[in-house]
């Protein structure tokens, strides 16, 4: 596949099984926790894994939460 | 777009998470301290997330930036306390709580961007393919025909699908900013985008220009 054809395929990405934004919002913390544990979240949440490849808004939220959980996750009660 | 099946993942219910939930309940002797400690870290998460999204905030100044972080943390804390009994332990408590501040930052950044720089009509109206997609002199006939078919198919989308596809896919308008422009929400706008993309793939395949084998079979 040429570079332009590949980019066109990305531009028009619409895979069956996409769970949508609302479903992902509900489980985003569990999704990120699986990633942090080195597991594959797509096995548990396949629809959200597909969705995150296509939705720029949810992808940004996911990336932010993953980074926050990595950076600030070890907060004890004090 | 179909809903995520009822998979729940594993339950974590670690001691630290249980401690957070217990101490955040009103009436607990350490309630005030726990709320203050959580709020403090929510502010730090908000500042970090706002910095990560700074490209959308244009010329926002120091005090306004800090105020935005404070508001996001305040609103997130309210949501955490209101939904405390809904925490099911599918993640650590902190990851669950941080989700609320990420969503607040996401929403506030979109509102800020929408007020400062709403999408222009150039970014919403269909004119032509962007430079990287436009036919070039050296293109083979097949490539030119594929791009011409795409161009024609974009013109045949419904008005809403075309507006959403042109803004998000071709002009990189943030989906939440577009949702505000349309008086809609992210999920509904994403559905429009998904339908537009699926229609365009299908039109290309019908015209003999499938992008991948799977499209051709469909």
Considering chain B, what is the average pLDDT of its residues? 88
Say yes or no to pLDDT of B10 above 80.
no
What pLDDT was estimated at residue B106?
Answer: 97
Q: What is the mean pLDDT of residues B107-133?
A: 82
- CB A61 to CB B103 under 8 A? yes
Share of chain B above pLDDT 90, in %: 61
Please return the burial class of A11, using the count of CB atoms within 10 Å of its CB with bins 0-12, 13-18 and 19+: middle
What pLDDT was estimated at residue B12?
Answer: 58
Q: Which pTM value belongs to this model?
A: 0.88
Q: How far apart are CA A32 and CA A58, in angstroms?
A: 12
Say yes or no to pLDDT of B5 above 80.
no
- CB A75 to CB B212 under 8 A? no
- DSSP for A22-69? HHHHHHHHHHHHHHHTT--HHHH-HHHHHHHHH-HHHHHHHHHHHHHH
Say yes or no to pLDDT of B2 above 70.
no
Is residue B148 within 8 Å of B208, Cβ to Cβ? no
Q: What is the mean pLDDT of residues B140-162?
A: 89
A11 inside 8 A of chain B by CB: yes
Please return the burial class of B13, using the count of CB atoms within 10 Å of its CB with bins 0-12, 13-18 and 19+: middle
Assigned token pair, B80: 């955490």
pLDDT digits (tens, 9 = 90+) for A38-78: 999 999 999 999 999 999 999 999 999 999 999 998 777 77
What pLDDT was estimated at residue B28?
Answer: 95
Q: What is the mean pLDDT of residues A8-13?
A: 89
User: How many C-beta atoms surround the C-beta of residue B85 within 10 A?
Assistant: 8
- From chain B, pick out residues whose CB is under 8 angstroms from the CB of A27: 4, 9, 90
Chain pair A-B, CB pairs under 8 angstroms: 160
Backbone φ and ψ of B46, nearest 5° = -65, -45
Q: What angle do CA A63, A64, A69 make, to 5 degrees?
A: 100
- From chain A, pick out residues whose CB is under 8 angstroms from the CB of B175: 55-57
- From chain A, pick out residues whose CB is under 8 angstroms from the CB of B103: 25, 61
- From chain B, pick out residues whose CB is under 8 angstroms from the CB of A26: 4
What pLDDT was estimated at residue B19?
Answer: 93
Question: B23 or B212: whose pLDDT is higher?
Answer: B23
What pLDDT was estimated at residue A61?
Answer: 98
B-contacting residues of A 16-75, CB under 8 Å? 16-34, 36, 44-48, 51, 54-58, 60-61, 63-65, 67-69, 71-73, 75
Query: Out of B33, B169, B190, whose CB is closest to A21?
Result: B190
pLDDT digits (tens, 9 = 90+) for B188-205: 999 999 999 999 999 999
Closest residue of chain A to B51, computed from CA coordinates: A64
Q: How far apart are CA B181 and CA A8, in angstroms?
A: 26
Residue B215's pLDDT band, with cuts at 50, 70 and 90, is low
Q: What is the mean pLDDT of residues B58-75?
A: 90
What pLDDT was estimated at residue A25?
Answer: 92
Packed helices A56-72 and B31-52: angle between N→C axes, nearest 10 degrees: 130
- CB B33 to CB A78 under 8 A? yes
| Across B59-73, B97-111, B127-141, least confident range | B127-141
- From chain B, pick out residues whose CB is under 8 angstroms from the CB of A58: 186, 190
What pLDDT was estimated at residue B210?
Answer: 75
Closest residue of chain B to A57, computed from CA coordinates: B175
Is residue A25 within 8 Å of B103, Cβ to Cβ? yes
pLDDT digits (tens, 9 = 90+) for B74-87: 999 999 999 999 99
- CB A57 to CB B190 under 8 A? yes
Say yes or no to pLDDT of B217 above 70.
no
- From the list B46, B21, B24, the residue with the least C-alpha distance to B35 is B24
What pLDDT was estimated at residue B144?
Answer: 81
What pLDDT was estimated at residue B68?
Answer: 94
- From chain A, pick out residues whose CB is under 8 angstroms from the CB of B98: 29, 65, 68-69, 72
């Amino acid at each position: 596949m040429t570079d332009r054809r590949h980019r066109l395929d990305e531009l028009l990405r619409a895979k069956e099984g996409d769970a949508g934004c609302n479903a992902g919002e509900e489980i985003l913390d569990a999704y990120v926790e699986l990633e942090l544990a080195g597991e594959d979240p797509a096995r548990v949440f396949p629809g959200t894994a597909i969705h995150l490849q296509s939705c720029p808004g949810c992808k940004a939220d996911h990336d932010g939460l993953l980074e926050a959980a990595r950076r600030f996750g070890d907060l004890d009660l004090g | 777009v179909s809903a995520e099946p009822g998979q729940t993942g594993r339950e974590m219910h670690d001691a630290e998470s249980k401690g957070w939930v217990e101490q955040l309940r009103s009436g607990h002797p350490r309630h005030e301290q726990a709320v203050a400690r959580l709020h403090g870290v929510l502010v730090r998460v908000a500042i970090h997330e706002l910095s990560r999204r700074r490209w959308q905030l244009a010329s926002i100044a120091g005090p306004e930036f800090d105020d935005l972080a404070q508001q996001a943390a305040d609103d997130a804390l309210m949501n955490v306390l209101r939904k405390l009994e809904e925490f099911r332990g599918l993640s650590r408590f902190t990851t669950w709580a941080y989700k609320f501040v990420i969503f607040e930052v996401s929403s506030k950044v979109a509102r800020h961007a929408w007020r400062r720089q709403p999408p222009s009509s150039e970014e919403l109206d269909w004119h032509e393919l962007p430079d990287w997609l436009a036919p070039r002199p050296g293109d083979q006939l097949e490539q030119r025909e594929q791009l011409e078919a795409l161009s024609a198919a974009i013109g045949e989308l419904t008005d809403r699908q075309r507006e959403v596809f042109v803004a998000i896919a071709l002009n990189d308008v943030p989906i939440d900013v577009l949702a505000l422009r349309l008086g809609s929400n992210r999920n509904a706008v994403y559905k429009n985008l998904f339908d537009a993309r699926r229609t365009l793939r299908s039109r290309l395949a019908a015209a003999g220009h499938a992008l991948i084998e799977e499209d051709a079979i469909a």
